[in-house]
Amino acid sequence: MDKPKQIAFDFDDQQRSPLPPKNVYVKNEEIIDLPAEITIPKIKSTRGRKSLKEMCEGVDLLDVPNDEILFQKMYYSIGKVAAMFKVNQSLIRLWENEFDVLKPKKNGKGDRLFRPEDIKNIQLIYHLMRERKYTMEGAKEFIKNNKKADEKFAMIESLKKLKGFLNELKANL
């Protein structure tokens, strides 16, 4: 039997194309040389988890209305609730499955309708998970073991409002 031939490739003969310098910009297949002091910033991907810093910055931006306004309506859609907390609807659905205190009503189509009490519970869960950085299991244990967690949370929220008022008053002086 004949031995199979061994094929060898020599890649050193081929010239490699050098990488373009950092101050070169390609637009519509046209190479544009930029001055050395101008660099093109690297665009950060918007996919994936937010950093803790980004999550902490967004905590103050919640659009949850006061109790007087919140309790005027009987039900809120999941889209409205997600917009109040500036989270995805999928996160609200996840919290509904994980936490026993969330029991939204469902209409004939299967749409979730959240009562103001549910929104208050979501606000507590949001506080535990996003502000105090509890894990899912830790937040469940906290809610289960602390029956007066709602009262504590209401106290924290009123103190935050007072702090915001005092900071605003200080800024206006």
SS3 24: strand
What are the domain boundaries of the chain? 62-164
In angstroms, the CA 36 to CA 56 distance is 37
Structure tokens at 125: 């869960």
Structure tokens at 3: 């031995």
Q: What is the CATH number of domain 62-164?
A: 1.10.1660.10
Q: Residue 55 burial by CB count (10 A; 0-12/13-18/19+): exposed, middle or buried? A: middle
Given this model, what pLDDT does residue 72 score? 86
pTM check: above 0.75: no
Residues in the chain: 173
pLDDT digit string (tens) for the chain, length 173 residues: 567 777 766 666 555 555 555 555 566 667 666 666 666 566 666 666 666 666 555 555 677 777 778 788 899 999 999 988 888 999 999 999 999 889 999 999 989 999 999 998 898 899 888 888 889 999 999 888 887 766 777 787 788 888 888 888 888 88
Given this model, what pLDDT does residue 151 score? 75
